[in-house]
Copies of this chain bind each other. A is one copy, B any other.
Amino acid sequence: MDDPNTLADTQFLLCFNVYSLHRSFGRFYQSAFSETGLTYPKVLILMALERHGPLSISALSSRIGVEPHTVSPIVKKLAGFGAITRERSEVDERRVELAITAKGQEVLDRARTVIEEGFAALGLEPDRMMEAMRFLDQAREAVEKADPPKLSFEGLE
**A contact set with B: CB distance below 8 Å:** 2, 7-8, 10-25, 27-28, 31-38, 40, 42, 44, 51, 65-66, 77-78, 80-81, 83, 107, 110-112, 114-124, 126, 128-133, 135-140, 142-144, 146-157
Contact = CB atoms under 8 A, between A and B. Distances in A.
Q: Which of A33, A77, A130, A136 has the most CB of B within 10 A?
A: A136
Q: Which of A21, A40, A124, A144 has the most CB of B within 10 A?
A: A21
B18 A153 contact: no
B138 A135 contact: no
11 contacts: A2-B51, A10-B126, A12-B119, A17-B140, A20-B65, A24-B143, A28-B146, A38-B156, A83-B156, A115-B148, A131-B131
Nearest to A119: B11
A123 B151 CA distance: 22
Contacts of A36: 151-156
Contact of A65 (B8, B23, B51): B23
Contact of A11 (B17, B18, B20, B124): B124
Contacts of A131: 128, 131-132, 135
A66 B19 CA distance: 10
Contacts of A66: 23
Contacts of A2: 51
